[in-house]
Each structure stands twice: as structure tokens, then as C-alpha cells.
């Protein structure tokens, strides 16, 4: 009986027990007075919850939602397009000077200030790459000498993640500028 107790109670609340199951259930309750007391309270809880009405949204709720919507968001559907547009612009902004710069090395007919600045961009990029290479070599040397340093990035990442989690957890929700202030009225 104890194994089926959950099922039996669910069915009993719905009034879906067969006469045999009902008899078995009542017999179980008669043999377990503590369970019988608790069952009476379960029935009371069930009735309390079933009698409780749906609480309607306060006046002007929909208008306040639309006001917040006007200030806060745009549908996600538009977001990917915007992301793609930004990504394409950035790629183009990076690639165009590089392409022109590379061409200026081989095609003499490309002249003027545009070609010169693109040429300079490529040279500058090459210098940055050289700098990055020397930084990488330094790091590699340090890691060979002190292998424990390789744990530093992981440690930093974990620390940052923990910090963000803590801040997010302890920061209260954004206050609602449009929420109606409801003054509770106590009956009696």
C-alpha cells in the first residue's frame, strides 16, 4: 500500500478510485491514524487551493508593459540581422585596406594617398605581428622556466567567473519605473 500511496491519494483527490481501491485506501487509513489525520488535511488543502480564484492583473498593466517595451527592447528576430551587418562592416573595414595595401606592393598603377595609407596599414600590421611574436616568445620562455605560470590564466578565468556570479547573485533586480505602487488594504 505504501508504495502505491501517492497514486492512491492522487486518484482519491480526483475521485477516481474504484470501489475496491477505495475500500483498500480506507482500510489503510483506518490502520494508520497519523496518516488518516494527515489525509484529512491534504483534502482540506486541496479544497482551499481549488476554491482560490485567479488574481487579475491590476489596471493599466498592459499599458505599462507596452511602455517598458518601447524603452527597453527590440525583437530578437531583428538582432541576428544587426549582428550580421555589424560583423560584415567590421570585416570589410579590416579587409579593404589590407587588400589595397597588398595590391599597392605589386600594381604600380595604384597610386595616391589611398594606396599610400593602405600600404602603411599593411606595414603597421606587420610590425604588430612582429611585436606579438616577440611577446609570444617571451611567454614561451617564461613558461619553460616556470611551468606553474601556465595555471595563471585558468586561475584568472575562475576568479573572474566567481566575481561575476557573486555580483549577479547579490544585485537586486532592476527597479520598475512604471510599476504602480499598490497600497495594501487589510480587511477589518
Partner 1 sequence: MKSQDRLWVKQTLSGNREAFAHLVNEYQNAVYNLCVRMLGDTVEAEDAAQETFLRAYAHLGSYDSNRSFKTWLLSIASNHCIDRLRKRRLSTLSLEAENLPPHPALTSSDPGPEASIMASERTELVQKLLSKLPPDYRAAVVLYYWYDYSQSEIAEVLGTTESAVKSRLFRARRMMAEMLKQRDKKPVRLAMEGSNG
Smallest distance from the beta carbon of 176 to partner 1, in angstroms?
4
Per the CB < 8 A criterion, the answer to whether 68 and 176 are in contact is: yes
Question: Per-residue string for binding with partner 1, 39-68, x by CB under 8 A?
Answer: x-xx-xxx-xxxxxxxxxxx--xx-xxx-x
Q: How far is CA 30 from CA 27, 92, 171, in A?
A: 5, 81, 53
Cβ atoms within 10 Å, residue 125: 14
Dist CA 48 CA 52 (whole Å): 6
From the CA atom positions of the chain, what is the Rg in Å?
35
Smallest distance from the beta carbon of 89 to partner 1, in angstroms?
22
Smallest distance from the beta carbon of 158 to partner 1, in angstroms?
20
Q: Phi and psi dihedrals of 9, rounded to 5?
A: -65, -40
Which CB, 93 or 185, lies closer to partner 1? 185
Dist CA 68 CA 178 (whole Å): 8
Q: Of 3, 14, 108, 176, which lies in the binding site for partner 1, with binding defined by CB under 8 A? A: 176
Residues of this chain, 22-41, that bind partner 1 according to CB under 8 A: 37-39, 41
Give the interface with partner 1 as residue ranges (CB under 8 A). 6, 9-10, 37-39, 41-42, 44-46, 48-58, 61-62, 64-66, 68-70, 72-77, 79-80, 169-170, 172-173, 175-176, 178-188
Amino acid at each position: 500500500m505504501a508504495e502505491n500511496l501517492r497514486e492512491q491519494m492522487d486518484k482519491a483527490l480526483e475521485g477516481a478510485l474504484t470501489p475496491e481501491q477505495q475500500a483498500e485506501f480506507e482500510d489503510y487509513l483506518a490502520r494508520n491514524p497519523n496518516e488518516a489525520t494527515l489525509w484529512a488535511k491534504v483534502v482540506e488543502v486541496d479544497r482551499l487551493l481549488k476554491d482560490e480564484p485567479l488574481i487579475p492583473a491590476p489596471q493599466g498593466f498592459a499599458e505599462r508593459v507596452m511602455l517598458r517595451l518601447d524603452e527597453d527592447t527590440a525583437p530578437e528576430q531583428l538582432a541576428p540581422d544587426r549582428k550580421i551587418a555589424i560583423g560584415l562592416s567590421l570585416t570589410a573595414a579590416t579587409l579593404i585596406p589590407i587588400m589595397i595595401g597588398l595590391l599597392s606592393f605589386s600594381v604600380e598603377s595604384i597610386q595616391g594617398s589611398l594606396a599610400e595609407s593602405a600600404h602603411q596599414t599593411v606595414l603597421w600590421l606587420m610590425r604588430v605581428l612582429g611585436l606579438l611574436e616577440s611577446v609570444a616568445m617571451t611567454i614561451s620562455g617564461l613558461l619553460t622556466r616556470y611551468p606553474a605560470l601556465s595555471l595563471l590564466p585558468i586561475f584568472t578565468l575562475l576568479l573572474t567567473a566567481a566575481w561575476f556570479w557573486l555580483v549577479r547573485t547579490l544585485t537586486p533586480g532592476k527597479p520598475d519605473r512604471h510599476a504602480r505602487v499598490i497600497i495594501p488594504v487589510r480587511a477589518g
